[in-house]
Structure 1
Amino acid sequence: MHASIMSRADGKCELCQNIESLQVYPIPESPDLSANCAVLLCDKCLQQISGGADLDANHFTCLNQSMWSTTPAVQALSYRLLHLFSSESWAQDAIDMLYLEEDTLAWAQRGIVHNVEATLDANGAVLRAGDSVTIIKDLDVKGANFTAKRGTPVRNIGLSDNPLHIEGKVNGQRIVIIAAYTKKN
């Protein structure tokens, strides 16, 4: 599978075109486990997508190019990532221009978390993916053996399927945080 994806991608990250530290990434919520449902990513893209590094909107402006790929797996992943950055004007513009075949669109949408309710901070401000917040109460982090201290900034938050929770990186670890214990910056 790796060889066929490497050949299809011409030895480049299928998102940002980087040629170093390439790995196959099977796209979650895919119809199957074939090479048609995986993409070749550089380490920088992979770390950000998998939550190992903070999302960098500037890096992912490359989606303006990758979304036009003829490979459905690249299209689906680009669509999902554009939705993560939908608060950015460039991403919203790209979403408005993007056309996907019906089956590719359905696949892409399966991987997007849709909150029925808005995620709100302690003051009732609506939180969006990519926002920065500050923790307003000391929080014991289960399973991580540390306390997230009051006043700790959390950048590039992610939303979860539960509108009461957000995800963010504290002390180098990605954790789930109760949104009501944060304040939007």
Structure 2
Amino acid sequence: MSLETRSGVICELCGSNEGLSAYEVPQGDLSEDQSIYICQNCKTQIQNDELDETHFNCLNDSMWSEVPGVKVMSYILLNKLDRQDLVDMMYLEEDELQWAQKAINADANKVIFRDANGVELNAGDSIVILKDLDVKGAGFTAKRGTTVTRISLPNDMDDHVEGRVNGTKIYLKTEFIKKA
């Protein structure tokens, strides 16, 4: 069954029929019910993590859906909105609850990289080195003012970024860089 057919061509969260598209509920098992059909308003708020509680009063209805993805997404959003009264009323099967908890925990454990000024860094950003840094094992100094493009963010360290200086891949401490 297609998402359009299942949803009745309306947002499965709020009931709107404008700007509809598929949205993959995070941390799922890639089954057919992992995707839900939502409007652009819901999608934008979810992706930007800026939830309007008034808009999401619609979860009072969608939390009772028979579609696992809709129930799990409702559970995740109600937790983010700190609506424990509604979360306590919900019933999820054991596998749905594990799915929802996995998604909530993944969000809580997300590492945020920040430069010396506290600006959030993302993979692919460009940065500027703030002071001369001796590069151990490479025999050169990364000079102050050098721009490093297309940085990557290592999974195991939240106080370092990875980039190329003079053609050599190096790690730079976030306290010595700023976003370009």
Structure 2 length as normaliser, TM-score?
Answer: 0.59
- Render the CA deviation track for 1:3-49: whole Å, top value 9, x for unaligned: 701100000000000001000001110111x4311000100000011
Determine which of 92, 96, 100 is the counterpart of 2:84: 92
RMSD of equivalent CA atoms = 2.6
Unaligned runs of 5+ in 1: 117-137, 146-163, 165-185
Alpha-carbon separation, structure 2, partners of 1:4 and 1:103: 23
- For 2:119 and 2:42, the matched residues in 1 are separated by 31
Is 2:50 the counterpart of 1:54?
A: yes
Counting only pairs closer than 5 Å after superposition, residues 31-70 of structure 1 correspond to structure 2 as 31-32=29-30, 34-51=31-48, 54-70=50-66
Q: Deviation string for 1:53-85 (max 9, x for gaps)?
A: 732111111111100001011001000011101
> For residues 139 and 42 of structure 1, do their structure 2 counterparts lie closer, same or farther at Cα, with a shift above 3 Å needed?
same
**CA contact under 8 A between 2:51 and 2:81: conserved in structure 1?**
no
Deviation, 1:144, is 7.6
Map 1:144-155 to 2 at 5 A: none
Q: Indicate the residue corresponding to 1:28 in structure 2.
A: 26
Decide which structure has the larger Cα Rg and report it: 2
Counterpart among 101, 106, 126 of residue 109 in structure 1: 101
Q: In 2, Cα distance between the equivalents of 1:66 and 1:55?
A: 16
1:100-139 deviation per Cα after TM superposition (whole angstroms, max 9, x unaligned): 11111111111003759xxxxxxxxxxxxxxxxxxxxx64
Secondary structure of 2:100 counterpart:
helix
Residue 18 of structure 1, aligned match among 8, 16, 20: 16
- 3-state DSSP class of the match of 1:112? helix
Aligned length: 119
- Identity over the aligned pairs, expressed in percent? 39
Amino acid paired to 1:92: Q
1:76 matches 2:68 = no
Change (3 A) 1:7 1:96: same
Contact 2:72 2:100 in 1 (8 A): yes
**TM-score using structure 1 length:** 0.57
